[in-house]
Amino acid sequence: MGGLTSAARTRVDVDVSAVVPFSGEAVVRGWVRAPAAADPARRLVVLVCFPGGSCTTGYFDLDVPGHAGYSMAEYFVDRGVVVAAFDHLGIGDSSAVDDIFAITPWIAAEADDVATRVVLDGLRAGTLVPGLGPRPDLFAIGVGHSMGGMLSTVQQARHRTFDALIGLGHGGDGLPGFLTPEELALADRPLADTASEIAQCARVRFATPTAIDNKRAEPNSFFAPDVPTAVKAAFSRQRTQLLYTCGLTSMIPGSTDAEKATVDVPLLLAYGDGDLTRNFSGAFARYACASDATLFVLHDSAHCHNQATTRAVLWDRMDRWVRSIVDE
């Protein structure tokens, strides 16, 4: 691991080549933002964030010239929380791979788990962020938006990385209206049986990949009508290539229900009232073993909640929920 500190951000590079079935470089890259002074009397909370399809870590730390207050990371750091974020292997700042279609949810989650543990171990030891001493009793929460919510759920199910989970905009019922008959045939089946078939379907669907792949969706399904043009432009600047097989997996109904059913830590699921899914109760029901389950629907928001004009309402709710489970 290498760290390069710039202002309030510490860069993190994690070699994950030992856990992925690829030759050559395999590095997951991200960053950590920490408060200038964390209260030593309170248990340190760490949000580890994973972006959705075609997004980078910039989704969680968006800089919008002329418009303040669009960084979720800054919001939580100001409240004494450490925020980390990673680009999934194969996209964004993380290293590219020869065959991006070969990155299934299990492989992506394996790499994300290794990267997460490097950050958490460094924070526990006090060696990661200059000025932030050892915090052995930290509380780690995985935060995933859209496809990132699916992947953080898979990560938790397979590796039990986190003390709690926050899922933003991932419902589990997919986008069946946009699937081919071959893709629909894979619905409601465990990844153990379908991962290789999903990868093959992804090769067909995305036979001519572009730098940025836009999902076909209803008008305003990503942004509510009142989102400023400058905010949409800043969102576009942080975008990257889609992680094709993982993206398609998130579109297939029930594809990770087996993983969801094993999550037994506290869980907050949040959606916009104009999100890609409107089946909020159905999404909630997939996590039958969560030890503390909360559902929140953000008003006047589409799928990209961090760019909604009401985004602070969601962040306030997340903050209250986090404090309630950490301080109980």
Structural domains in the chain, sorted by start? 2-326 (3.40.50.1820)
Q: What is the mean pLDDT of residues 19-37?
A: 93
Q: Over range 91-119, report the average pLDDT.
A: 97
What is the average pLDDT across 261-286? 96
Which of 21, 45, 19, 103 has the alpha carbon at shortest distance from 321? Answer: 45
Task: Give the other-Cβ count within 10 Å of 294's Cβ.
Answer: 18
pLDDT of residue 327: 84
pLDDT at 142 over 90: yes
Identify each DSSP E strand in the chain by its residue range: 2-6, 9-15, 27-33, 45-50, 82-86, 139-145, 164-168, 267-272, 293-298
Task: State the pTM of this model.
Answer: 0.94
Q: State how far the Cα of 92 lies from the Cα of 110, in Å rounded to an integer.
A: 17
- Note the pLDDT of residue 328: 67
